[in-house]
Structure 1
């Protein structure tokens, strides 16, 4: 398996990160996320960092805020690779 796929699997293996991914179906900033999820801001930021390193989300700076959204193209790519491994 490749390194990117391991990173993907590790990132989605954490329930809080799956919650974040679910909330990022619509783009939002870290402040909105931690309030919606009831998580500490630093913990939310940590999970966002892991998701971004795994290329599951992308971010864009807009003024003073950083807005996050799903990286659907990369999510689909990794799901397809994972499916290929599981079918072997």
Structure 2
């Protein structure tokens, strides 16, 4: 049964998948899975500018995909919760599975 609330959740989920559909943004999230990491470290690891990484992180924070934790002057980012890390981990496992030729 479709309800307005159900449709709203479907729309929100589609928006989340669109957000994660950007390769650079997805790489930023994946860099945050292992634990707290600073913007500069993400930028260096991924070969992106710190300003671009910050832009992606702002969008990801707004969507509750990552969260920020300030330590002094530095801000560290990490996956927002277990749901995000589990979903991405499961999807990475899925694409690593062998692809049968005739499925």
Deviation of 1:47 (Å): 0.5
Instruction: Indicate whether 1:21 and 2:29 are aligned.
Output: yes
Tell me, in whole angstroms, the C-alpha distance in 2 between the residues paired with 1:73 and 1:4: 19
Partner of 2:67: 58
Cα 1:9–1:56 change in 2 (3 A) is same
Instruction: Indicate whether 1:68 and 2:67 are aligned.
Output: no
TM, length-normalised to structure 2: 0.66
Tell me, in whole angstroms, the C-alpha distance in 1 between the residues paired with 2:84 and 2:12: 11
Tell me, in whole angstroms, the C-alpha distance in 2 between the residues paired with 1:59 and 1:14: 21
Give the total of aligned pairs: 78
Give the unaligned 5+ runs of structure 2. 1-6, 88-103
Identify the match of residue 42 of structure 1 among 48, 51, 54. 51
Tell me, in whole angstroms, the C-alpha distance in 2 between the residues paired with 1:13 and 1:57: 15
- The answer on whether the counterparts of 1:56 and 1:74 sit within 8 Å (CA) in structure 2 is no
Q: Which portions of structure 1, spanning 4 or more consecutive aligned residues, are displaced by more than 2 angstroms?
A: 1-7, 72-76
